[in-house]
Chains A and B, each alone.
Chain A
Amino acid sequence: QQQVKQSPQSLIVQKGGISIINCAYENTAFDYFPWYQQFPGKGPALLIAIRPDVSEKKEGRFTISFNKSAKQFSLHIMDSQPGDSATYFCAATRPGTYKYIFGTGTRLKVLA
């Protein structure tokens, strides 16, 4: 029940295309779902996050779609750029704790 399953493991997208990464969870107590971007040798950087009371959140080229009934959420990167090439992690956490449960990561490569 503590797992967050992330797919795909790797993704190759042409420049200007849409990158889509999916995550699924089981624990309905989770109430905060952030996405992180990580470059090699660096710490994860917070990209965007959502709570279950909204179905979509958009910040610039990044959008989170959230489906509470299906217990799934996804990250969409619009107009993908080579600089977006990185590993992306979804995560989830419960109220009153900072223990994040991370997905296994998606390695994105955007071709120029």
Chain B
Amino acid sequence: DAGVTQSPTHLIKTRGQQVTLRCSPISGHKSVSWYQQVLGQGPQFIFQYYEKEERGRGNFPDRFSARQFPNYSSELNVNALLLGDSALYLCASSSGLNFNEQFFGPGTRLTVL
């Protein structure tokens, strides 16, 4: 079975632009979470979606938004990019059942110039 997939792998944008990152969870998983990982730090929680509804939001500005589709894939959107948004954006999926196991994708490396 395929694991969590994310696209694109790398992305370079300039300040003020908008970006959309995509995630496909493990087959059968209904929960998707997004994390931001700045170089040298642990991942920071951005959003969690379960059954297409937002179930949690971290301490990020409104420039960050997300949604989950009927097939449980998800998109993370970031508007008005800042230099500080440069990071590895991670998607994690979970079945929504049985403990709290989350499985992470390879991430999308976003560079804002």
Contact = CB atoms under 8 A, between A and B. Distances in A.
Interface of A: 6, 32, 34, 36, 41-46, 49, 51, 89, 91, 93, 97-105
Contacts, number: 68
Nearest to B33: A98
Range of interface residues on chain B? Answer: 20 to 34
Which of A32, A41, A100, A103 is packed against the most chain B CB atoms within 10 Å?
Answer: A100
A104 B41 contact: yes
Given A43-B106, A44-B90, A98-B31, A103 B100 contact: no
B106 A98 contact: no
18 contacts: A6-B42, A36-B104, A43-B90, A43-B104, A46-B101, A46-B102, A49-B101, A89-B42, A97-B100, A98-B33, A98-B100, A99-B56, A99-B58, A100-B43, A102-B43, A105-B40, A105-B41, A105-B42
Contacts of A93: 100
B78 to A, nearest CB: 18
A41 B6 CA distance: 13
Nearest to A42: B106
A101 B58 CA distance: 11
A107 to B, nearest CB: 9
Interface in B13-61: 31, 33, 35, 40-45, 48, 50, 55-56, 58
A99 B103 CA distance: 13
Which of B44, B45, B56, B58 is packed against the most chain A CB atoms within 10 Å?
Answer: B45
B92 interface: yes
Interface in B73-102: 88, 90, 92, 94, 99-102
Given A45-B104, A49-B99, 5 more contacts: A46-B103, A93-B100, A98-B100, A101-B45, A105-B41
B42 to A, nearest CB: 3
